[in-house]
Chain A
Amino acid sequence: DIQMTQSPSSLSASVGDRVTITCRASQSISSYLNWYQQKPGKAPKLLIYAASSLQSEVPSRFSGSGSGTDFTLTINSLQPEDFATYYCQQSYNTPPYTFGQGTKLEIK
């Protein structure tokens, strides 16, 4: 299976900050990488697909980049509603699909 490793595992930031979350794959996955946001008690919500494409109705302060093994999710000008846990997920080749362990973004 392809292992996905996110860093950091947790992050404290303030409203208005710019934050970057990193996801590394154990082998090259081209651009087969998606990002999700999950709030407590809720299902994950798709933010970014195919490494850098913004899902419809997701604010433009979210962006994704990377290819191969290294990917980043950037949030510009953090808003109060952005404090959540973020997961990357690879969809390379055939299943099993795998997720990163998550990055919890907390208010400083």
Chain B
Amino acid sequence: QVQLQESGPGLVKPSQTLSLTCTVSGGSISSGRYYWSWIRQPAGKGLEWIGRIYTSGSTNYNPSLKSRVTISVDTSKNQFSLNLSSVTAADTAVYFCARETGFHSQQWFDPWGQGTLVTVSS
């Protein structure tokens, strides 16, 4: 079955850009009608949807982060990536990647990656 794995630096300095990659295994990122999302969770807090990308490259972002977020896809590597610029301590969180699936306009997240902790600190 499809599995997702996040990777990237665990420590980012304030004002710099957070960059993470999600590698999809067990299936092609291009197959099927799926969106691929990033979601984050600060320690002890709830989940925040960051944005998503379709394999065509079409994206949607959370308006609260839109000015700082870029999500891209590399179908040749079966990966999609997140860039979050001008980070502050408030961006410290566990970052998850997830596949958005569904039917008849119903959508849900399944599966998820295991998550990766990114700390913003000097």
A interface residues (Cβ-Cβ under 8 A, vs B): 1, 31-32, 34, 36, 42-46, 49-50, 55, 87, 89, 91, 94-102
Give the shortest distance, in Å, between A3 (CB) and chain B (any CB): 12
B interface residues (Cβ-Cβ under 8 A, vs A): 46-49, 51-52, 60-64, 96, 98, 102, 105-110, 112-115
Give the shortest distance, in Å, between B2 (CB) and chain A (any CB): 13
The dominant DSSP class at the B interface is: strand
A43-B96, A43-B114, A91-B102 known; A99+B108 contact, CB < 8 A: no
What are 9 A-to-B residue pairs whose CB atoms are below 8 Å?
Answer: A43-B112, A43-B115, A44-B47, A46-B109, A91-B106, A96-B63, A98-B49, A99-B49, A101-B46
Q: Are B102 and A87 in contact (CB under 8 A)?
A: no
Q: Are A44 and B109 in contact (CB under 8 A)?
A: yes
A96 cross-chain contacts in B, Cβ below 8 A? 49, 60, 62-64
The one of B46, B49, B107, B115 in contact with A102, judged by C-beta atoms closer than 8 angstroms, is B46
The 5 closest A-B pairs by CB, nearest first: A43-B112, A46-B110, A91-B107, A99-B47, A49-B108
B48 cross-chain contacts in A, Cβ below 8 A? 99
Report the bound CA distance from A50 to B8 in whole Å. 33
Q: Are B49 and A95 in contact (CB under 8 A)?
A: yes
Q: Are A42 and B46 in contact (CB under 8 A)?
A: no
